[in-house]
Structure 1
Amino acid sequence: MSDFSPGQRWISDGEAELGLGTILNCDNRSVTVLFGASQETRTYSSRQAPLTRVVFGSGDRIQSTDGWHLIVDDSKEANGLITYIGENEQGELCELPEAKLADTMQFDQARDRLLTGQVDRNDWFDLRFRTLHHHHRVEQNPALGLAGPRVDLIPHQLYIADEVARRPSPRVLLADEVGLGKTIEAGLILHRLLLTGRAERALILVPASLTHQWLVELLRRFSLEVTLLDEQQSLAHGDANPFEAGQLILASQDWLFADPHRQAQAEACDWDLLIVDEAHHLEWSEERVGPGYACVERLAGSVPGILLLTATPEQMGQESHFTRLRLLDPDRYHSLADFQEEERHYIEVAEAIDALERLPGQEEDRQRVAAVIHEADSQALLDTLASSESDAAQRDAARDQLRDQLLDRHGTGRVMFRNSRRHVGGFPERRLHVDHLEPPAAYRRVLRRLSRDEDYLDELLIESGLDHPEVLVYLDTMYRALANDPLNAEPWWQIDPRVTWLLERLTELGDDKVLVIAHDRETAIGLSEGLRVLGGMHAPVFHEGLSLVERDRAAAAFADEEEGCQVLVCSEIGSEGRNFQFCHHLVMFDLPLHPDQLEQRIGRLDRIGQRHPIEMHVPVFTDSPGERLLRWYRDGMDAFSAPHGLGSDIYAAFGDALADALLDEEALEEVIDETRSFFESRLAERDAGRNRLLELNACRHERAEAVISSIHELDTDRALRRYIDQALDIFGVDSQDLGGDIQLLQPSPQMLDGLPGLVKGEEGFSATFSRERALARDDVQHLSWEHPLTREMMARILEGSMGNTALALLKHPSIPGGRLMAELVFRTHCPAPKRLHLNRFLPPTAVRVLLDESGANLTDKISFSGLSKNLNKVKKAVARDLIKSRHDQLRELLDRAETEAERELPSIVEAAQDRMRTALDAELARLEALARRNPSVREDELTALRDERATLDAAIEGTRLRLDAVRVIVTVDEDSR
């Protein structure tokens, strides 16, 4: 019966929830099984397939695909397939081929094990029941998927993760300012989608310099193991598609975007989610579409979920920003002109929201709100708010609802989330320290000639091969480019006073960490060499010419608190993506030409969690283009004091004029004045319009606080510690108290194989139940209901047979010896596709039934805990003999218990349907109302939600009970041994 044949019925040992499977095809190497009830297909090795053949015996009740039932009397086999013979409900003799068995049939594995004398330990049975109970609670918690990651509970991050991850196919732009945690938001979204089954495969594309940082962050914070794919790894897979090597693939954008063949392989895979970091680097214009943009656009056409991450969504201009939104929803964002017109309308909406706070007040405030609402429900809320008969509570409720509706129904808030530092708050002060230095003779000679001879700039550009204005601002680069000049014989770092200035600053700062950023790679390399030669200081260098391993080694040497180096020298690449918030001294050896790059630099240190003021040290040469550039930044747009997100607009408006004014003091003052006026005007315009709407919509604090409250509920759950301690003991994991609420988990010689982070012969890992301690110690893991170890132990129990049978002895003075009791645990079974996340409405639900030997129901009279603590174990040989002697009686009790349990099912199903309809009907009504006013609600999103509701309704209606576990209890006299 172990040979596979098409049409045979098997079940998965590890994924029992898939239901009854059908063999589709098989050969000597593999076997493919279709699980029709859950719409899943699996392919296994023929030799090691984790499958069990389904064979029914006399007396078993089976169901056909057409819904009728048959009581098995006999069976026959032909060509490896079984045909069952018996009577249907009408008493007619019928045959039912196994291929016609219903996919949703249940299997009483516990019944079969018990009646054949297979019993487990009593503590295993206890753990199984408690696992069902806790799993039922946790799966319905609103914070599921957000509580496990090792992150601070920051409201705006949790709000975005909760809002985005609850969507069937999220397609959003995460555009928080630098340092507000976009990577954490993306990780939270990914973690929840994976945990709830809404996603199984994800492709993560990041700049090459950030691949290892993402790899470490996903593992350390979210316990997600990803496959890092590059060309070397791809070649190792031969002709196979390397993107099929794992469920979560992390790849370098630089590598993928440069290789059409690898792009085709990535596009050939089925992905549930695409994450693209630093999305502002995707180049698009009407004249040219960059390879990166083209690749992401093709992937976006087939991947249902997309997260684009960028701290500077409009860095390349409004048109480029529009094209990124177009990747998310090409139907919604098809016209740039329409988009620009819509943005102009946001000021009216923002003013209406401000007017809400003043109502009931002036009539003009009511008119301002009325002008932007068009729905009857919104008008009714406005009437309530403006009415003199409404009390304070009614007005507050109406104001909150109307505010939410305006935010929902206007703007890009559903597809773009952008929090600013001023909106989030709690960021450190920024302090600018400028030191004026005299330029060396070689630099001064060039600057003087430029000031006297207007034509010399053209000669310099030709001679050096550099661009304007780089040749003016980066004097060391200019010096190196003119290396043929006999006056430029010495290395630039030997003649540049900024190097000795930096050595002096490093000495003054003592042990404080210092990040140094320079525009050019050659400058960074030379500066590192200068610090070594002139000051005997080891300064690792971080630039784009290094391999990923070399970059990570440099960053790690800088980050090490005890033995690490004091300073890290970076080229401009060091100002993107990397997190250096453990440092608060930033030396800008030179200044970038684009305001957004300046903010990127500062943002490496100025992040959430930074506890010190940001000390920015900038050396400039007196009366030089670099000094004038600093004045433009400082006086024209307050670029050093706080981020404002207007850098792209300002540079587009004044970049050319600035370049021309770097050699003209009078022209510079005019550019600074014009820049300041433009900056203040755009700042006011932005704050009045779209950005204000985005900020209001990017974190709704009541929702965020509700999520945080739910996480606290899971974090402080007293049952968690008791459950994990019991599970660790049963699974064979030793726990040693290290003090400070930290314990060392180590595998014992008896440990069951395959537990995450625990390998026999290795030392294990340290863990704590405290989120605060886990955040303070990178080497300590955070134990939670979502930790991989907890999830794995619960899955082993729920999906396997561990503890589903037991036999125990009960000594009680009021109960005569020799009596029989049966404690049965039934579990709801409702096969449905994982993507529906059915468990939020109907997680596996336990129905306990306790019967005495006469069939009387004692469930309400004797609790599970009260009974368990009075039971005694019995040897397995004795247990088998007892079961054998009571075989017929046990069959009757099992049948009786099923009838008792079925009485509980209708109320369970009704409650689940009520929960589902309450949640989805309200969300569907909200989205339908939004769609009438806000085109950012996609039609396919509405269709998916309607289909989800219908499928869930049918699945819940089809819920059945199956016997999950059974314990036989035999009473013994008090004096028996």
Structure 2
Amino acid sequence: MIIEKSLEWKEGFIERVENREGWDNWKLYTMSYEIVEKNLIKEFDGLQSLRYLLDFTPLDHQLEVAKTVIERMNGKALLADEVGLGKTIEAGLILKEYLVRGLVKKALILVPASLVNQWIEELNQKFHIPAIQYRKNYDLNHCDIVVMSMDMAKRSPHKENIYEQSYDLIIIDEAHKLKNHKTKNYEFVQNLRKKFCLLLTATPIQNDVFEIFYLISLLKPGHLGTYESFQSSFSARKHSLEHNEYLKELVSQVMVRNRRQDTEIEWTNRRVQILPLEFTKEEKEVYDLISQLKDVSTVFTDSFSMITLQKEMCSSKEATFLTLIKMLDKCTCLEDMSHMEKIIRKLSVLEINSKAEKAFEIISKANDKVILFTEYRATQDYLQEFLNSKGISSVIFNGQLNKNKREWIKQLFKEKAQVLIATESGSEGINLQFCHHVINYDLPWNPMKLEQRIGRVHRLGQEHDVHIYNMAIKNTIEDHILDLLYVKIGVFEKVVGELDDILSAYKKSI
């Protein structure tokens, strides 16, 4: 079949011009009328965009979120589904719906740098939204749907160029990173000109209850009152509050949250456990010497340095050694230098890392892919060398890898290596459903980081039960970290809702 371009319109046009004939044509008019009528959106209820999604069918809970945000929340919402339920899909649905309805023509999507390409692919391929990645030489006046990293957007001259624009919709991924009004990220977003706004985070409370106040104040200023009235009304302190049922009701008016168990999807189980460990006699001696530094040293003017060293000692002597050397270089007191040199000498002769030995035991028994999370780069390097000496293949994943290297390392882990040794910054945005074991080698202060770690593997597409091992050394700073993690989980559940197991139902008894 040959398709040719028709030029009949041109002949008709010339004839009407030259012969001064009438321009009206009832047949053409009725055809135009029918086209316009078919494109009209006669009802506000329901999603009109679904007929334009030819190769993609969203899940029921994702459709419900989009309807709720558009019909009840007027396009200003906190999307707080648990990790792995598709908040990106929900945001894409909402954007598509507003584009179809003509209510959004210009949108800005701000995401972590590591997720820019992922967002563009999702919007282009699933929703046929012509989103582009912002480049330094682009004129924002001619860019309708832009995806940009938050780090780039908040810096000059991009910040000033963005401030000149009026956006119909702003989408912020990983919105918990906005934290509060004192951060540059928060201030930047607050000053954007926007009609609709979506904040995406599975963890709207990370460390303290005031974080939910600031996020909701971005969406609907005054919804939770002023900072002072919020603090007074709910007797709010960092890790506690009262009248939480009333607060939860207020929050639900601007927040949509689905839990895995609320969906019709059949999820695999989480097998979570805390593994209480003990230092060897030699490790304990070094740990105690470090703890004594606050009493004998003039270097420790605050508790933060002490806590950092104690945490590092619970991780590896390598991480501890690097910090001590830096402190020793700045030290001017002979007595302090003598004490630190004594610790360094004892560190250097330590032969056993109790936590590493336990990690090796878990990995050997698993005989499967394992992702191991540590907080320190020095520990990463040590663990790779340690596991290699035991015949275990591993790859390192951290925030210093560029996009191509991230994909390469991920592929190496999937096809070759047994263990992925990751830091927090490196793990952001990676999906590892082919892995079924997570070792939290170092515990973070923030329980939501545990949820995000586990969410790398326990998400849509996971076909096996996920085993989570939380390692903690008795009679150390990790005792205190565990206590605080449970307190913070309690605050989260009072305001946001129940959380899937991340530590274990078994309360700490170590």
Deviation at 1:325, TM superposition (A): 1.6
Deviation at 1:246, TM superposition (A): 3.6
Q: 2:453 aligns with which of 580, 587, 601?
A: 601
State whether structure 2 residue 477 is matched by structure 1 residue 572: no
Q: 1:432 aligns with which of 268, 272, 291?
A: 272
Deviation at 1:587, TM superposition (A): 1.0
Q: 1:308 aligns with which of 194, 199, 216?
A: 199
State whether structure 2 residue 273 is matched by structure 1 residue 273: no
What's 1:293 paired with? 186
The one-character-per-residue Cα deviations of 1:347-399 (angstroms, maximum 9, x if unpaired) are: 4799xxxxxxxxxxxxxxxxxxxxxxxxxxxxxxxxxxxxxxxxxxxxxxxxx
1:606 alignment partner, SS class? coil
What's 1:446 paired with? 286
2:191 alignment partner, SS class? helix
**Residues in 2 aligned to 1:489 and 1:144: alpha-carbon distance in whole angstroms:** 67
The one-character-per-residue Cα deviations of 1:188-240 (angstroms, maximum 9, x if unpaired) are: 212222344332322111122322332343345434453223xxx31xx2xx6
Structure 1 pair 151–595 and aligned structure 2 pair: CA distance change class (3 A)? farther
Structure 1 pair 513–334 and aligned structure 2 pair: CA distance change class (3 A)? same
Q: Contact 1:464–1:481 (CA<8 Å) still a contact in 2?
A: no
Q: 1:526 aligns with which of 382, 385, 402?
A: 382
Q: 2:255 aligns with which of 413, 416, 422?
A: 416
**Residues in 1 aligned to 2:244 and 2:482: alpha-carbon distance in whole angstroms:** 33
What's 2:22 paired with? 61
AA aligned opposite 1:431? R
Structure 1 pair 291–436 and aligned structure 2 pair: CA distance change class (3 A)? closer
Structure 1 pair 412–467 and aligned structure 2 pair: CA distance change class (3 A)? same
What's 2:407 paired with? 552
Q: 2:148 aligns with which of 241, 251, 268?
A: 251
Q: Contact 1:208–1:548 (CA<8 Å) still a contact in 2?
A: no
Q: 2:158 aligns with which of 255, 262, 271?
A: 262
AA aligned opposite 1:417? V
**Residues in 1 aligned to 2:67 and 2:429: alpha-carbon distance in whole angstroms:** 24
Q: Contact 1:209–1:551 (CA<8 Å) still a contact in 2?
A: no
Aligned Cα root-mean-square deviation (Å): 4.3
Deviation at 1:263, TM superposition (A): 0.4
What's 1:319 paired with? 210
Structure 1 pair 166–598 and aligned structure 2 pair: CA distance change class (3 A)? same
What's 2:9 paired with? none
2:157 alignment partner, SS class? helix
What's 1:506 paired with? 363
State whether structure 2 residue 489 is matched by structure 1 residue 632: no
Q: Contact 2:206–2:447 (CA<8 Å) still a contact in 1?
A: no
**Residues in 1 aligned to 2:14 and 2:439: alpha-carbon distance in whole angstroms:** 69
2:171 alignment partner, SS class? strand
**Residues in 2 aligned to 1:431 and 1:466: alpha-carbon distance in whole angstroms:** 33
The alignment covers a number of residue pairs equal to 455
**Residues in 2 aligned to 1:250 and 1:349: alpha-carbon distance in whole angstroms:** 33
AA aligned opposite 1:266? I
Q: Contact 1:138–1:144 (CA<8 Å) still a contact in 2?
A: yes
Q: 1:214 aligns with which of 99, 113, 119?
A: 119
Structure 1 pair 348–210 and aligned structure 2 pair: CA distance change class (3 A)? closer
Deviation at 1:436, TM superposition (A): 5.1
**Residues in 1 aligned to 2:60 and 2:229: alpha-carbon distance in whole angstroms:** 33
1:212 alignment partner, SS class? helix
Q: Contact 1:146–1:191 (CA<8 Å) still a contact in 2?
A: no
AA aligned opposite 1:544? G
Deviation at 1:501, TM superposition (A): 4.0
Structure 1 pair 319–186 and aligned structure 2 pair: CA distance change class (3 A)? same
Q: Structure 1 stretch 266-275 or stretch 413-422: which is displaced more?
A: 413-422
What's 1:540 paired with? 395
Matches within 5 A, 1:792-871: none
The one-character-per-residue Cα deviations of 1:53-105 (angstroms, maximum 9, x if unpaired) are: 9974546435xxxxxxxxxxxxxxxxxxxxxxxxxxxxxxxxxxxxxxxxxx9
Q: Contact 1:543–1:571 (CA<8 Å) still a contact in 2?
A: yes
**Residues in 1 aligned to 2:286 and 2:298: alpha-carbon distance in whole angstroms:** 9
The one-character-per-residue Cα deviations of 1:223-263 (angstroms, maximum 9, x if unpaired) are: 4453223xxx31xx2xx63x356432111112222x13210
AA aligned opposite 2:310? L
Structure 1 pair 297–565 and aligned structure 2 pair: CA distance change class (3 A)? same
**Residues in 2 aligned to 1:228 and 1:461: alpha-carbon distance in whole angstroms:** 47
Structure 1 pair 577–220 and aligned structure 2 pair: CA distance change class (3 A)? same
Q: 1:160 aligns with which of 45, 65, 89?
A: 65
> Larger C-alpha radius of gyration, 1 or 2?
1
Q: Contact 1:211–1:251 (CA<8 Å) still a contact in 2?
A: yes
AA aligned opposite 1:272? D
Deviation at 1:132, TM superposition (A): 6.8
Q: 2:132 aligns with which of 227, 230, 237?
A: 227
1:61 alignment partner, SS class? coil
State whether structure 2 residue 110 is matched by structure 1 residue 201: no
Matches within 5 A, 1:117-132: none
Deviation at 1:295, TM superposition (A): 1.0
Deviation at 1:568, TM superposition (A): 1.6
The one-character-per-residue Cα deviations of 1:238-292 (angstroms, maximum 9, x if unpaired) are: xx63x356432111112222x132101112234221111111211435xxx2211
Structure 1 pair 224–608 and aligned structure 2 pair: CA distance change class (3 A)? same
Deviation at 1:609, TM superposition (A): 4.2
Structure 2 residues not aligned, in runs of 5+ = 6-12, 235-241, 326-340, 499-510
**Residues in 1 aligned to 2:97 and 2:303: alpha-carbon distance in whole angstroms:** 52
**Residues in 2 aligned to 1:163 and 1:106: alpha-carbon distance in whole angstroms:** 44
What's 1:654 paired with? none
**Residues in 1 aligned to 2:438 and 2:396: alpha-carbon distance in whole angstroms:** 15
Matches within 5 A, 1:655-674: none
What's 1:482 paired with? 324
What's 2:180 paired with? 284
AA aligned opposite 1:198? L
**Residues in 2 aligned to 1:61 and 1:203: alpha-carbon distance in whole angstroms:** 47
Q: TM-score scaled to structure 1, two decimals?
A: 0.41
Q: Contact 2:376–2:423 (CA<8 Å) still a contact in 1?
A: yes
Matches within 5 A, 1:90-109: none
**Residues in 1 aligned to 2:320 and 2:186: alpha-carbon distance in whole angstroms:** 34
Q: Contact 2:286–2:347 (CA<8 Å) still a contact in 1?
A: no
Structure 1 pair 171–446 and aligned structure 2 pair: CA distance change class (3 A)? same
AA aligned opposite 2:258? N
**Residues in 2 aligned to 1:106 and 1:531: alpha-carbon distance in whole angstroms:** 81
**Residues in 2 aligned to 1:349 and 1:316: alpha-carbon distance in whole angstroms:** 17
AA aligned opposite 2:195? P
Deviation at 1:159, TM superposition (A): 0.8
**Residues in 1 aligned to 2:278 and 2:243: alpha-carbon distance in whole angstroms:** 51
Q: Contact 2:204–2:212 (CA<8 Å) still a contact in 1?
A: yes
Structure with higher strand content: 1
The one-character-per-residue Cα deviations of 1:562-595 (angstroms, maximum 9, x if unpaired) are: x353322111224544333332210111111222
What's 1:851 paired with? none
AA aligned opposite 1:318? V
**Residues in 1 aligned to 2:206 and 2:227: alpha-carbon distance in whole angstroms:** 17
Residue identity over aligned pairs, in percent, reads: 28
Q: TM-score scaled to structure 2, two decimals?
A: 0.74
Structure 1 pair 175–486 and aligned structure 2 pair: CA distance change class (3 A)? same
